[in-house]
Amino acid sequence: MLTTLALSQESQVYTALESREAYSQPISPLSEDELRDFMQGRTLVRQSWIIGPALDSEIQGLGPLYNRNSCIACHAKNGRGFAPTNEHESMRAMLVRLSIPGKTLSGAPLPHPFYGDQLQEYGAPSVVAEGRASLSYSEHTVSLANGQNVSLRKPQLRFTELAYGPLPKNIQTSLRIAPAIYGMGLLQAIEEKTILTLAAQTKPGKIKGRPNWVWDEEAKKISLGRFGWKANVPSLRQQTASALSGDMGLSSSVFPHGNCAPKQRDCQQAAQTVAPEINASQLQQMTMYQLALAVPKQRQAGDAMVMRGKQVFERAMCAACHQPVLQTGDFPGLSALSHQQIAPYTDLLLHDMGPELADGRPDFQASGREWRTPPLWGIGLAQKVDEQVGFLHDGRARSLLEAILWHGGEAEASKEQVRTMPDEDRQALLRFLESL
Amino acid sequence: MPSALTIKAALRWLTSFLLAGLLLGSQALYAESSKVVVMTSYPQEVVSTFEAAFEQQYPQYKLEVLWRQSRDAMAYFKQPPQPVDVYWTPAQRNFAQLEHMQALAPLDLDLTGLPEQLHGYPLRSSHYIASEIAGYGMAINPKAIQAQGLPSPSTWQDLTAAGYHGKIGLPIPSKVGYAPPLIDILLQGYGWQAGWNLLQALAANAELVTSGATFISDDVANGRLLAGLTIDFFTASAIANGAPLQFVYPEITAYSPAHIAIMRQAANVEGARAFRDFVLSEAGQRLLFHPDVRKLPVRPSAYAYKPADYYNPYASNIGFIYDSKKGLARQELTNALFDAIISLNIAQLQYSYEQLTAATQKLGADAPQVLKARALLQTLPIPEPIDTESSTEITSPDKAQIQAWQLQMQQRYAEAARILAQP
């Protein structure tokens, strides 16, 4: 359902819609061509892809190894994924990144020779799936100043049914839930110098923040990373092509070789010879769809509790990383995104988040303890849009308070402030986050 | 001569290779026994909803979905052996064909609480069974209709009123998967001649829709269109997600069941049964009320848990009983006729109907000119095929035939417009 189509010439990058479709609205104005591409992109993002050969040749090419068969299987209603609640549940909206110590020539994590850089749990009929990953949890409690105990669950990863032999002891793993995909165009439209200025600024306490410099697959050079949980992808187009390849085995001009690891012979043999499986216009339309997805407007901004929460947010130094005001630059690819003052609540920089959140898997310049500040805009509607959501990179946090209490490293002092602050302040902080 | 060290090393390698082989073999067996392969064309929202609930109830099984549209699915099934355990999809014709091909396992389940038919509409055969129902009707935007000063429509004919000109969505049955029964409901409900003439009158007011029905509900929700002919669940789901829509079931309507069946060559029969039984269970049927699904359960007891204002076909009366076998048998023919009479001549059709409306207002409905033009406009390329009472499939018309019908209609529309333009 689209209720806010281009009606005025003034850019509207936010949507006032608060329903379960709040993450699915286009910005405005969009030209007729842009709107058509947005709609086509929406169809493709919703499309269930087919293992070839098939009569529907436009939508074939899934696999031979894959995690899910559509974008929205993980990004339901364009929102965030979640972690399984127990070891019996499948990973329906998250995946496991894999690597072995070392780096590729471009500086990326070194893929495992058999399993590649991501465990794919499904295979085409002639190809054995790589294996199965499951999560169980160990729980511990954190006490708040008011005596209330909050239970936190830490995921423990287990692999079964591994088709290419056991994983080595030094395997590096990283659990990642699917991130929300609205507002990505605005993040793309932030100028590089803005992000570098943020990195250079002196910040309170131990907070630092640095950019991730990553390999740009299209420009064939090192570029500023801004997408992905570790800011390891430089553009939305590459993020889209990378997910199509890694999660669904769909090749494109950006990643033309599919996702079979070098030693997966049955996968290589089953892979379609006709490439790319995602053609140029399909990739362009899927990218346009995400570029043009509007962000939910803050709700109840004038509410006393929300205003108090905003002050607490600033006092607790959350805003040092979750930047509340940024400016987009010139963005000729979609002019409605240009020169907008936005409130993404991210600096797109890497921060050491402490040992508890560390995955121990470096990604370009990001260390095993560093994560990119995730945007907070629209987060208050997450559970309204989809009942099943998780917070933090691996979805371990079941609520925003749990997510805060997992913060460590550079954010340790902020976390402690939240833990020890008066109950009313903490409630106000949560109300503020829910208003975003 | 190999050294002792080399022989030891070779033995060690052989032992570890065999052990690894045994381990991998047992894992592969385990994986196969837990995997339930389901072929479907359901949208991701439906699949995800059922997948999550099924795995929660049956943690020993893991659902693997092979997604294919109905035409592609049949092509896939015709090239055995294919590793599909369950076929679960809204494509009644495929199930009939698969049953005829003896590709389905006999229906072997507890049928308690699952009716054999709905208003005379069969819900199972000996090899497949309906798993949900969808109804046909109109998606309307009540506020936008009110703003235009129009009465809210309750019958298909209401949408032929002048106030709806250019403001209704009509899906092309050869392009839109759910649309063929929608068209045939009008042909059966009003009769061949009157049904086609009603479709022409609707087309005169319509924007033809070629893609998925979500676009009809989008366009009606945002007010660009006032109403659209569609299937209920797209609209019901949009309403559940906040769209300002309403769905109207006219008196002449029918239901389209989706079915589920276990393949005769299913590798995981136990897993397949578990999934089928889950889909048909009360817990499974209640999932159909989910805001992203919004289909109609076949198990009447599930309606005790329905959300407010949810349609219950078992509690509703409909004006006639749609013969789905007849509809399926002539589907290719009616699709081709729709293209020839309407889709491929839409500009000429709309122009001549505009002329007809203007002349009727000016000269009166009984004016000889008007009567002559109307008779011409409403003359069909062919009468109703007489063998459609049986379930024998009617041969699809070829391109040349469709082109000939199109040309015939084009000339009639042009001639009618010429007659109406005479002073």
Residues in B touching A163 (Cβ below 8 Å): 24, 27-28
CB-based contact (8 Å) between B73 and chain A?
no
- Model ipTM value: 0.93
Say whether A166 sits in a helix, a strand or coil.
coil
Which two tokens mark B342? 């309407």
Bridging pattern class, strands B86-89 and B227-231: unpaired
Contact present, A285 and A292 (Cβ < 8 Å): no
Residue-wise pLDDT tens digits, B315-328: 987 778 888 889 98
- What per-residue confidence (pLDDT) applies to A273? 61
Which two tokens mark B92? 């009644």
Give B158's pLDDT tier (boundaries 50, 70, 90).
very high
On the question of pLDDT at B48 being above 80, the answer is yes
- What per-residue confidence (pLDDT) applies to A274? 65
How far, in Å, CA of A104 to CA of A362, rounded?
A: 12
Residue of A nearest to B41 (CA): A48
Say whether A318 sits in a helix, a strand or coil.
helix
- What per-residue confidence (pLDDT) applies to B393? 64
Mean pLDDT of B78-91: 90
Mean pLDDT of A188-212: 97
Cα dihedral across residues A108, A109, A114, A116: positive or negative: negative
Q: Please give the residue that has the higher pLDDT: either B53 or B7.
A: B53
On the question of pLDDT at B20 being above 70, the answer is no
CB-based contact (8 Å) between A20 and chain B?
yes
Instruction: Determine the distance in angstroms separating the CA of B57 from the nearest CA of chain A, rounded to an integer.
Output: 10
Taking the CA atoms of chain B, what radius of gyration do you get in angstroms? 27
Residue-wise pLDDT tens digits, A23-77: 999 999 999 899 989 989 999 999 999 998 888 888 999 999 999 999 999 999 9
- What per-residue confidence (pLDDT) applies to A10? 73
CB-based contact (8 Å) between A46 and chain B?
yes
Question: How many helices (DSSP H) and strands (DSSP E) are in chain A?
Answer: 12, 15
A309-318 b/e with 16+ CB inside 10 Å = b?
bbebbeebbb
Contact present, A358 and A215 (Cβ < 8 Å): no
On the question of pLDDT at B370 being above 70, the answer is yes
On the question of pLDDT at B406 being above 70, the answer is yes
CATH 3.40.190.10 holds for B13-133+256-315? yes
DSSP 8-state code for residue A400: H
Give A414's pLDDT tier (boundaries 50, 70, 90).
very high
On the question of pLDDT at A337 being above 50, the answer is yes
Mean pLDDT of B190-204: 97
User: C-alpha angle A346/A291/A338, rounded to 5°?
Assistant: 75
Residues in A touching B21 (Cβ below 8 Å): none
Q: Where in chain B is the domain with CATH 3.40.190.10?
A: 13-133+256-315
Asked if B291 lies within 8 A of A125 by C-beta distance, the reply is no
On the question of pLDDT at A258 being above 60, the answer is yes
Asked if B28 lies within 8 A of A388 by C-beta distance, the reply is no
Backbone angles phi, psi at B70, to 5 degrees: -60, -40
Residue of B nearest to A91 (CA): B52
Q: Out of A55, A122, A161, name the one closest to residue B27 (CB).
A: A161
DSSP 8-state code for residue A381: G
Q: Which of A40-49, B125-134, B206-215 has the lowest mean pLDDT?
A: B206-215
- A–B: how many Cβ contacts below 8 A? 99
- To the nearest 10 degrees (0 to 180), the angle between helices B192-205 and B331-341 is 50
Q: What percent of chain B has pLDDT over 70?
A: 89
CB-based contact (8 Å) between B172 and chain A?
no
**Average pLDDT for chain A:** 95
Asked if A54 lies within 8 A of B68 by C-beta distance, the reply is yes
On the question of pLDDT at A236 being above 60, the answer is yes
- What per-residue confidence (pLDDT) applies to B214? 59
Indicate whether A3 belongs to any domain.
no
Instruction: Determine the distance in angstroms separating the CA of B75 from the nearest CA of chain A, rounded to an integer.
Output: 8
Residue-wise pLDDT tens digits, B286-314: 999 999 999 999 999 999 999 998 999 99
Residues in A touching B287 (Cβ below 8 Å): none
Residues in B touching A70 (Cβ below 8 Å): 44, 67
How far, in Å, CA of A105 to CA of A111, rounded?
A: 12
Residues in B touching A92 (Cβ below 8 Å): 48, 51-52
Distance of CA A176 to CAs B56, B168, B217, B312, Å?
22, 45, 34, 42
Asked if B215 lies within 8 A of A39 by C-beta distance, the reply is yes
CB-based contact (8 Å) between A92 and chain B?
yes
Asked if A46 lies within 8 A of B43 by C-beta distance, the reply is yes
Left if phi > 0, otherwise alpha if psi is -120 to 50, otherwise beta: which for B394? beta
On the question of pLDDT at A4 being above 80, the answer is no
Q: Out of B31, B52, B67, name the one closest to residue A69 (CB).
A: B67
Indicate whether A5 belongs to any domain.
no
Q: Out of B28, B55, B242, name the one closest to residue A21 (CB).
A: B242
Give A355's pLDDT tier (boundaries 50, 70, 90).
very high
Contact present, B412 and B379 (Cβ < 8 Å): yes
Mean pLDDT of B372-396: 81
Q: Out of A1, A122, A162, name the one closest to residue B238 (CB).
A: A1
Indicate whether A7 belongs to any domain.
no
Say whether A191 sits in a helix, a strand or coil.
coil
Which two tokens mark A307? 């205003």
Q: Out of A5, A128, A165, name the one closest to residue B222 (CB).
A: A5
CB-based contact (8 Å) between A328 and chain B?
no
- What per-residue confidence (pLDDT) applies to A211? 98
- What per-residue confidence (pLDDT) applies to B328? 87
Asked if A1 lies within 8 A of B221 by C-beta distance, the reply is yes
Q: Out of B48, B64, B83, name the one closest to residue A122 (CB).
A: B64
**Average pLDDT for chain B:** 89
On the question of pLDDT at B33 being above 70, the answer is no
Mean pLDDT of B33-52: 94
Q: Out of A2, A54, A76, name the one closest to residue B218 (CB).
A: A2
On the question of pLDDT at B363 being above 90, the answer is yes
Residue-wise pLDDT tens digits, B92-122: 889 999 999 999 999 999 999 999 999 888 9
CB-based contact (8 Å) between A39 and chain B?
yes
- What per-residue confidence (pLDDT) applies to A5? 40
- What per-residue confidence (pLDDT) applies to B16? 44
Mean pLDDT of A207-220: 97
On the question of pLDDT at B10 being above 60, the answer is no
Residues in A touching B222 (Cβ below 8 Å): 2-5
- What per-residue confidence (pLDDT) applies to B387? 61
| Nearest C-alpha neighbor of A43 from the set B43, B238, B226 | B43
Count structural domains, chain A. 1
On the question of pLDDT at A430 being above 60, the answer is yes
Give B6's pLDDT tier (boundaries 50, 70, 90).
very low
- What per-residue confidence (pLDDT) applies to B242? 87
- Show the beta-strand stretches assigned E in A211-354: 212-216, 221-225, 295-296, 326-327, 341-342, 350-352
Instruction: Determine the distance in angstroms separating the CA of B60 from the nearest CA of chain A, rounded to an integer.
Output: 8
Asked if A165 lies within 8 A of B222 by C-beta distance, the reply is no
Indicate whether A327 belongs to any domain.
yes
Asked if A388 lies within 8 A of B52 by C-beta distance, the reply is yes
Give the residue numbers spanning the domain of A161.
14-435
Q: Which of A68-82, A217-231, A252-266, B330-344 has the lowest mean pLDDT?
A: A252-266
Residue of A nearest to B19 (CA): A165
Which two tokens mark A314? 């600033």
